[in-house]
Amino acid sequence: GHKGAVRSVAFSPDGASLATASEDGSARIWSVDSGELLRVFNVGGIPITSATFAPDSAALLLALGDGTAAIHCVETCDRLQRFYGHSQALRSASFSLDGAMVLSASEDRVARLWSTATGECIRELHCNGWVGSAVLSPDGGSILTASADSLGRLWSLCGRCMFELKGHRDYVSSAMFSP
């Protein structure tokens, strides 16, 4: 198993596998049916804060403690894409439902929307505290962020904050849309 704290656990969309991400610099894929370890992804000792499967279960997105995110092939463990631009550790990263975009959330107070094909940053969303999570809506038309400034925010894809979810007394670390 892992030699450091496990920071996230995620099911594959097909329900056959689980991915774990650890501060020990590894992500692991496990069989749901047998509990067998299927794959190990090592990133040179850099802590991994989250691991998320692509919509087709063929790739794994890793959020890293060095401020980058990376997509790896589940079958071969090869790195397919890397996303550079954050100045501090990532808290999480997620795919759009069609797999064409990635969202990253960072301690640098910015969420970034990326093209999976090119690795280029499409949009930056600035918050007043570290961003714990950022997710695209199921229809792909908006983004929800959770941050340490005690706010959840709903953003348009063009980067305009449409409204803030106020009333929390402490940081908001996670945000999700209902399917």
Give dist(CA 167, CA 14) in Å, integer: 37
pLDDT digits (tens, 9 = 90+) for 102-141: 999 999 999 999 999 999 999 999 999 999 999 999 999 9
Any residues with CB less than 8 A from the CB of 58 and at least 6 apart, and which?
Answer: 73, 74, 75
Task: Report the candidate in 37, 43, 113 with the shortest Cα–Cα distance to residue 78.
Answer: 43
Please give the model's pTM, rounded to 2 decimal places: 0.94
pLDDT digits (tens, 9 = 90+) for 153-166: 999 999 999 998 88
Tell me: pLDDT of 179 over 80.
no
- pLDDT higher for 106 or 173? 106
pLDDT digits (tens, 9 = 90+) for 75-91: 999 999 999 999 999 99
Give dist(CA 154, CA 141) in Å, integer: 10
